C-alpha cells in the first residue's frame, strides 16, 4: 500500500515528527510512504527519503500576506496545490493521513475536493489543535470563546494566529464545515481525550474519533550523562528548564520571566530552549537561552541535566515535551490546561492552575 502523509513540516516540530514516525512504521511493515510538506525547507537527513515539497517559501509568504489582508488562510496556494495534487494522483495513495493542514502552504478547498473525488481512499486526520472546527483560531481557551460549537462570527482573536486585519470567521466556518464534512471514509484522530471531547461537540462530530497518544523514542529520551552543567557554568545550581518550538504568550514565556525574577539566582538557574535571537536579547539577565536544537540526543542530555521542567503553556493539546522530560528522569510542573494533565505520569510531577506562579515557585523550592 502507498501511504501519503501531509503536514507543514517533515520530521521537525511536534506534528512533523509524529508524521515521520508514522511513515517509518509503515515502511517497516513493507509499505511505501511519502510526507508532503510546505513550510521549512529543512528536513532531517534520515527523513529526506519521504519528503515531497508543496510549493516554495515564496508561496508560503504570499499565502501569509493574503491571510493577513483577508483572514482566508487555507484558500490560497492554488498553483502549488494543483501541482502537488497532479503528483498525488500519480502516486495514488491507498491511505491519506492528514496532520496540520494550516500554515500557509496548501489550499484546503482543492485538497478536499480531490479527497472527495477518491471514495476508495482511506483518510485519517490527526488534529494537533482546534483549527479544523473554528472559523479562525487554533485555540480558544484564553479567549473563553465557545462560538465554534454553533457558528463562529465576530472573532475575538482575529489578531492571533493566523492573524488578520479583518474578521472572516463567519465565512471561514461555513466553508470549513462544507469542505471537511462529507468525506466517505475518514477517521479523526486526536492525541488527547480533551481534544476528542471537543471534536464530538463540533461539526466534525459525525466522524469516528480515535485517541492515539503521542509516542516518544525511549531509546533517545532516557537519562543521559552530559557535560551540560559544566559547559554552561551551572555546576551546583538547581536548573529550571523550559522547552518550546516557538516561545510566545500562549507558551508562557512571560510567566517564565516572572518565575525567574522570583527565584534566588545564587541557587537557581532558568534555562530556555527554543528562544529566538530577538527574544534572547530582550529577556532579563540570568535566563540562559539556547536556540532550537534539531539533535534529540542533545535535547535529552539537557532534560537529564535539569532538576525540574516547567510547562507554563495555557493552551495545549498533548505536549510531547512533558513526556520527554519525564522519560529523562526530570519531574514536570505544568499548568492544568487542555490535554497536558494526560501527559504526566511521574508521581513527583505537579499540576497548578494557569498563571499561579507563586505555586510554581513554592513547589520548586520545596522540591
pLDDT (tens digit, 0 to 9) for every residue of the chain, 367 residues total? 999 999 999 998 889 989 999 999 999 999 999 999 998 778 999 999 999 999 999 999 999 999 999 999 999 999 999 999 999 999 999 999 999 999 999 999 999 999 999 999 999 999 999 999 999 999 999 899 999 999 999 999 999 999 999 999 999 999 999 999 999 999 999 999 999 999 999 999 999 999 999 888 899 999 998 889 999 999 889 999 999 988 888 899 999 999 999 999 899 999 999 998 888 888 988 899 998 776 889 999 999 999 999 999 999 999 999 999 999 999 999 999 999 999 999 999 999 999 999 999 999 998 8
Same domain (yes/no): 241, 205: no
CA angle 38, 43, 47 (to 5 degrees): 110
What is the 8-class DSSP label of residue 127? -
β-pair partners for 98: 6, 125
Q: What is the pLDDT of residue 120?
A: 95
Q: What is the pLDDT of residue 295?
A: 83
Number of domains in the chain: 2
Same domain (yes/no): 193, 244: no
Q: What is the pLDDT of residue 286?
A: 83
CATH number at residue 265: 3.40.50.2000
Question: Would you put residue 243 in left (φ > 0), alpha (ψ -120 to 50) or beta?
Answer: beta
Domain extent for 333: 228-366
For 34, other C-beta atoms within 10 Å of its C-beta total 20
β-pair partners for 82: none
Q: What is the pLDDT of residue 248?
A: 85
Q: Residue 297: name the closest of 232, 221, 239, 245 by CA.
A: 221
Cα distances (angstroms) measured from residue 47 to each of 17, 92, 101, 105, 229 = 10, 21, 19, 20, 31
Q: What is the pLDDT of residue 294?
A: 67
Q: Residue 139: name the closest of 192, 216, 205, 68 by CA.
A: 192
The last residue of one of the domains, among 211, 245, 268, is 211
Looking up cell 537557581 gives 268
Same domain (yes/no): 25, 152: yes
Same domain (yes/no): 61, 151: yes
The last residue of one of the domains, among 211, 236, 269, is 211
Residue 238 maps to a domain:
yes
Q: Three cell numbers at 237?
A: 545550581
Looking up cell 465576530 gives 154
Same domain (yes/no): 66, 99: yes
Rounded distance between C-alpha atoms, residue 40 and residue 105, angstroms: 10
The last residue of one of the domains, among 183, 211, 239, is 211
CATH number at residue 119: 3.40.50
List of residues 6+ apart from 308 with CB closer than 8 A: 238, 239, 240, 241, 330, 331, 332, 333, 364, 367
Q: What is the pLDDT of residue 291?
A: 85
Amino acid at each position: 500500500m502507498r501511504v501519503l502523509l501531509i503536514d507543514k513540516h517533515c520530521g521537525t516540530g511536534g506534528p512533523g515528527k509524529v508524521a515521520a514516525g508514522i511513515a517509518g512504521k509503515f515502511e517497516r511493515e513493507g509499505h511505501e510512504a511519502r510526507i508532503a510538506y510546505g513550510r521549512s525547507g529543512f528536513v532531517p537527513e534520515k527523513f529526506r527519503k519521504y519528503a515531497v515539497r508543496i510549493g516554495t517559501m515564496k508561496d508560503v509568504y504570499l499565502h501569509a500576506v493574503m491571510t493577513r489582508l483577508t483572514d482566508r488562510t487555507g484558500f490560497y496556494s492554488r498553483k502549488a496545490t494543483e501541482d502537488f495534487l497532479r503528483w498525488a494522483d500519480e502516486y495514488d495513495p491507498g491511505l491519506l493521513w492528514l496532520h496540520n493542514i494550516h500554515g500557509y502552504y496548501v489550499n484546503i478547498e482543492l485538497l478536499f475536493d480531490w479527497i472527495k473525488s477518491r471514495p476508495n481512499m482511506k483518510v485519517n486526520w490527526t488534529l494537533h489543535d482546534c483549527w479544523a472546527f473554528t472559523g479562525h483560531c487554533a485555540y480558544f481557551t484564553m479567549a473563553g470563546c465557545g462560538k465554534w460549537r454553533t457558528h463562529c462570527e465576530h472573532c475575538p482573536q482575529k489578531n492571533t494566529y493566523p492573524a488578520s486585519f479583518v474578521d472572516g470567521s463567519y465565512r471561514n466556518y461555513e466553508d470549513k464545515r462544507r469542505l471537511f464534512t462529507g468525506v466517505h471514509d475518514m477517521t479523526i484522530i486526536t492525541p488527547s481525550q480533551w481534544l476528542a471531547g471537543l471534536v464530538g461537540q463540533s461539526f466534525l462530530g459525525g466522524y469516528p474519533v480515535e485517541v492515539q497518544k503521542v509516542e516518544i523514542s525511549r531509546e533517545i529520551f532516557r537519562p543521559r550523562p552530559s557535560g551540560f552543567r559544566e559547559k554552561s557554568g551551572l555546576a551546583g545550581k538547581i536548573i529550571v528548564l523550559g522547552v518550546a518550538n516557538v516561545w510566545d504568550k500562549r507558551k508562557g514565556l512571560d510567566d517564565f520571566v516572572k518565575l525567574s525574577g522570583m527565584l534566588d539566582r545564587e541557587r537557581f538557574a532558568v534555562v530556555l530552549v527554543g528562544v529566538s535571537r530577538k527574544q534572547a536579547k530582550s529577556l532579563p539577565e540570568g535566563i540562559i537561552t539556547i536556540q532550537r536544537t534539531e539533535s534529540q540526543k542533545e535535547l535529552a542530555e539537557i532534560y537529564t541535566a535539569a532538576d525540574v521542567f516547567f510547562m507554563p503553556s495555557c493552551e495545549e493539546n498533548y505536549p510531547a515535551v512533558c513526556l520527554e522530560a519525564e522519560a529523562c528522569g526530570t519531574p514536570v510542573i505544568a499548568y492544568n490546561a487542555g490535554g497536558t494533565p494526560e501527559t504526566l505520569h511521574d508521581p513527583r510531577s505537579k499540576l497548578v492552575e494557569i498563571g499561579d506562579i507563586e505555586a510554581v515557585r513554592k513547589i520548586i523550592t520545596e522540591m
